[in-house]
Amino acid sequence: MRGLARDLPSIERTLLNMLSQLSCAATLTAAWVDVCADSAARIRDTGKNIPRLRLLQKYAVRCGGGGNHRLGLGDAALIKGNHTIAAGSVAQAFQAVRAYNPAIAIEVECDTFSQVVEAVDARADLILLNHMSVVQIARPKGVRTEASGGLTLENAAAIDATGVD
């Protein structure tokens, strides 16, 4: 690094902290990938990123062997619980998104089995099984699934064994 001596310590510390955070993301992703190495499951990142570091964090996940959930809101629609509540049901939220953009991929976050059934009936592209236990995780025919919430390296193998994508 080159610059004014008085500026270098603060710049160096900031860059070191950023690099440490990105290295941690890559390392933890690699640990998850290792646990699920014998299956077809794919480890993906979250949409929750540190402001202005989104692309770097997504790159770190790819360096760890994982994949990206989506780069932005234009890549896919994610119907979350608050959308379902506002629309009245999973089906109504799905129809609202489809009316707005008929071509976009739609992922539906489900907290209950009845929501999973609604999402399957609506023909969701992906169902996010949110905070569901291993015994609750359903593998609907013809629909990709994603587990989220409450996941740890300790329970990753059991969740992976359910066949979740």
- pLDDT higher for 136 or 77? 77
All domains in the chain, ordered by first residue: 1-69 (no CATH), 71-165 (3.20.20.70)
Quick check: 142 pLDDT over 90? no
Q: What is the pLDDT of residue 65?
A: 97
Quick check: 1 pLDDT over 90? no
Mean per-residue pLDDT for 125-138? 86
pTM value?
Answer: 0.82
133-137 — which CB contacts under 8 Å span 24+ positions?
134/158, 134/159, 134/161, 134/162, 137/162, 137/164
**What does the H/E/C string look like for the chain?**
CCCCCCCHHHHHHHHHHHHHHHHHHHHHHHHHHHHCCCCCCCCECCCCCCCCCHHHHHHHHHHCCCECCCCCCCCEEEECHHHHHHHCCHHHHHHHHHHHCCCCEEEEEECCHHHHHHHHHHCCCEEEEECCCCCCCCCCCCCEEEEECCCCCCCHHHHHCCCCC
Of the chain, the percentage scoring pLDDT greater than 70 comes to 100
